[in-house]
Amino acid sequence: MAEKNYRLCISCRKTANRNQLWRVVRTFPHRQVQLDEGMGRSAYLCQTAECLKMAQKKDRLSKALRTRVSTDIYQTLAKRLEKNTS
């Protein structure tokens, strides 16, 4: 039986512990998209440049969250990635 803390990356479809993934949330009822916190529909991404690039190129966050995701979210995730690799 699978443990509850595992989630699927929307980009590469890899299963990982949710602590190893970025969480993007569409809050309810305002449909705002934010990172890490909040209640609502969630999508998860691996913390890699490849997954981030593919998610942005194919607009996977918007599709998974069923709302428009601004480029600010992708830029924030890219900055996080730079901090982790430095």
Mode of pairing for the β-strands spanning 40-46 and 21-27: antiparallel
In a domain, 1, yes or no: no
φ/ψ (deg, to 5) at 2: -70, 145
Residue 27 lies in a domain: yes
pLDDT of 3 strictly over 90? no
Rounded to the nearest 10 degrees, what angle do helices 71-85 and 49-57 cross at?
Answer: 170
Write the burial class of residue 30 (CB in 10 Å: 0-12 exposed, 13-18 middle, 19+ buried). exposed
**pLDDT reported for residue 1:** 47
CATH number of the domain bearing residue 22: 3.30.1230.10
Mean pLDDT on 29-45? 92
Q: How many domains, the chain?
A: 1
pLDDT digit string, tens, across residues 55-66: 999 999 999 999
Q: In the chain, pLDDT over 70 holds for what percent of residues? A: 95
Q: How many CB atoms are closer than 10 A to CB 55?
A: 27
DSSP structural state of residue 36: S
72 domain residue, yes or no: yes
Per-residue pLDDT tens over the stretch 47-57: 999 999 999 99
Domain enclosing residue 29, as ranges: 6-85
For position 86, what pLDDT does the model report?
67
